[in-house]
Amino acid sequence: MIKITLKDGSIMEYNKGITVMEVAESISKGLAKNALAAEIDGEVKDLSFKLEKDCSLNLLKFEEEGGRLAYRHTTSHVLAQAVKRLFPNARLAIGPAIENGFYYDFDVDRTFTPEDLEKIENEMKNIIKENHKLERFTLPRDEAIKFMKENNEPYKEELIRDLPEGAEISFYKQGEFVDLCAGPHIPETGKIKAFKLTQVAGAYWRGDEKNKMLQRIYGTSFARQSDLDEYIRRLEEAKKRDHRKLGRELDLFTIMEEGPGFPFFLPKGMVLRNILEDYWRQEHKKAGYQEIKTPIILNEDLWHRSGHWDHYKENMYFTKIDEGNYAIKPMNCPGGMLVYKRRLHSYRDLPQRMAELGLVHRHELSGALHGLMRVRCFTQDDAHTFMLPSQIREEIIKVIDLIDSFYSVFGFKYHVELSTRPENSMGTDEQWEMATNALKEALEQKKMEYKINEGDGAFYGPKIDFHLEDCIGRTWQCGTIQLDFQMPERFDLTYVGDDGEKHRPVMIHRVVFGSIERFIAILTEHYAGAFPVWLAPVQVKILPLVEKHHEYVLALQNQLEQSGIRVETDLRNEKIGYKIREAQLEKVPYMLVIGDKEVENGSVAVRSRKEGDLGVMGINEFLKRIQEEVDKKAN
């Protein structure tokens, strides 16, 4: 007999070799019907998995991440089966579940069209209706390679050859379709209730631009049609909010063919950017940071010392100066190290908080570029804090509080994730354990819930990531706090302790916005281009009815500008209705309509983007209203 500990803590005994599904059926028929996969001692497995020893067992429904991923992974196999039925010569690459759905990559001698996607969807419905069981089996390495070769699947063959010796090679069969796959999967295709193929994109095999470009079909699936409908509605809303579209329409920024991945900020975009940077500077000054600026090009030796040459070289740009090798910085940290190292420090000087709005360059594949979200040059709002080991927890908490205050201003909710040691890391086990525990303790002291991402830390230290939620429920990773024992070691950073001896400081890397460019993209989509008054590039548009009101309008413009308000006038010989519509399309927060009465009384007729017609106000009354909104940073 074996003992199974369930999620509620209860312990049940079963015969060795019982399947997870049989355990589920013994507990409740309803539970067995809704279960999709199972977490066994923390690892997600199929419901057909046989239990051979004592373990903990958590049955997963669609609401749990493991169940959702298995459900969507199986939908990707249904997609691949449908493609193979319709296009038998298509060769399969990979097809994982991802955060909001799934994809599958295909090598096929045609370009998939919207009509093809419709045919594929219909065939997927047939496969679901046929309700094929997903049956797992394994093969020895040589047989697995032979099997893939016989089926003309060179990409699968390559994946098998790259597996380490002795690795278990598993396949899943559903009807006539067989795929190389580690799983897990749901029991049968008929459990898939609602799905939709969303787009086709190009993707290099294994993400390497030297390899062949494949066609990637994206899709999503849900346990209920109503949830799928809501997701599609949100996708449509996201299209309307696309920052690339709004950036063009509102004349904020552009990316030109002369510089793919290198954004141009236009005058109105620069107003928005400067407001964000000014706010950043004010808040960092209050929080005790000193601002620095470091060069964007530094010599090869520095990048060897920092570890970037070994761990990040593929993402860097290089140049030669005076016969020496130099790199354009992909990160600001090494420059910050040199600033700290320029002179001797006492323990009394610490913590030292140095902040930088630093321009960095990173090589991104052309297929990965996406407006301001994924670019090749961007400005990180970096800061580096150098401190005593005894100051770690207090400093991390101060950074958490600073990040929280920023996000609150923009009305963002967020959740946090703690990422632990990756495979290609630097440093000792003891250093990593100390660093990870320090981050955990700070989060727990703040009573913050957090998720652990095993192995997703930076190569030099663990990190806390802040994921913002926008107004249509999407999440964006922006802020991060990284604790680092490695860089101070590699750069031989020291301070003189109260014992008169030299000691090694500990360092925090952190960003709040993440990158100014990406944060502007997120804000643009969050607000759908209708920025709150304090951020709006143009806060007020003055609209005269006829030419004789122009003198009054220009004087009014001057008065508002003297009070710090950003104003434009529309002096064109157009009807007022047309001018109002134009201002609304430009998403200006306030329109001031000027006619004979307003000129005679020294007043303004106010229209609000949010509230519509507010009636006639005195100029000072309107000024007080708008300045209060700006001062409060009202959303």
Instruction: Report the chain's mean pLDDT, rounded to a whole number.
Output: 93
> Residue 7 is part of a domain; what is its CATH number?
3.10.20.30
Distance CA 563, CA 622 (A): 12
> Residue 121 is part of a domain; what is its CATH number?
3.30.980.10
- The pair phi, psi for residue 466, each rounded to 5°, is -105, 125
Q: Does the structure show a pLDDT above 90 at 459? A: no
Please check whether residues 399 and 281 belong to one and the same domain. yes
Q: Does the structure show a pLDDT above 90 at 306? A: no
Residue 193 lies in a domain: yes
Helix (H, G, I), strand (E, B) or coil at 532: coil
pLDDT digits (tens, 9 = 90+) for 610-631: 999 999 999 999 999 999 999 9
The stretch 7-18 carries a mean pLDDT of: 90
Please check whether residues 501 and 459 belong to one and the same domain. yes
Please check whether residues 513 and 623 belong to one and the same domain. no
pLDDT for residue 502: 95
Please check whether residues 40 and 71 belong to one and the same domain. no
Helix (H, G, I), strand (E, B) or coil at 588: coil
Residue 186 lies in a domain: yes
pLDDT for residue 300: 93
Residue 103 lies in a domain: yes
pLDDT digits (tens, 9 = 90+) for 354-381: 999 999 999 988 878 899 999 999 999 9
Q: Does the structure show a pLDDT above 80 at 424? A: no
pLDDT for residue 431: 83
* Tokens at 340, concatenated: 């700290």
Q: Does the structure show a pLDDT above 80 at 426? A: no
Q: Catalytic amino acids?
A: 333, 362, 380, 382, 384, 463, 509
Please check whether residues 374 and 506 belong to one and the same domain. yes
In total, how many domains does the chain have?
4
Q: Are 455 and 432 in contact (CB under 8 A)?
A: no
- Listed range (72-86, 207-221, 273-287) with the worst mean pLDDT: 207-221
- pTM of the predicted structure, to 2 decimals: 0.81
405: left (phi over 0), alpha (psi -120 to 50) or beta: alpha
Residue 559 lies in a domain: yes
Distance CA 253, CA 249 (A): 10
Instruction: Among 20, 41, 61, identify where a domain stops.
Output: 61
Instruction: Among 27, 61, 95, identify where a domain stops.
Output: 61
Please check whether residues 472 and 556 belong to one and the same domain. no
Please check whether residues 71 and 168 belong to one and the same domain. yes
Please check whether residues 143 and 188 belong to one and the same domain. yes
Please check whether residues 71 and 46 belong to one and the same domain. no
From the number of C-beta atoms within 10 Å of its C-beta (0-12, 13-18, 19+), residue 2 rates as: middle
Please check whether residues 52 and 115 belong to one and the same domain. no
- Tell me the residue range of the domain where 133 lies: 67-240
DSSP category for residue 191 = G
**Nearest 10 degrees: CA dihedral of 444, 447, 452, 453?**
-110
pLDDT for residue 30: 87
Distance CA 173, CA 158 (A): 20
Please check whether residues 520 and 618 belong to one and the same domain. no
pLDDT for residue 456: 86
Instruction: Among 496, 526, 556, identify where a domain stops.
Output: 526
* Tokens at 230, concatenated: 């809501």
Instruction: Name the pLDDT band for 529 (thresholds 50, 70, 90).
Output: very high
The stretch 296-325 carries a mean pLDDT of: 90
> Residue 403 is part of a domain; what is its CATH number?
3.30.930.10
CA–CA–CA angle 79, 85, 91 (5° rounding) = 75
pLDDT digits (tens, 9 = 90+) for 31-85: 889 999 999 998 999 999 999 999 999 999 999 999 999 999 999 999 999 999 9
Q: How many residues does the chain have?
A: 635
pLDDT for residue 272: 97
Strands (E), 470-514: 475-484, 495-496, 502-503, 506-511
Q: What distance lies between CA 404 and its chain's CA centroid?
A: 18
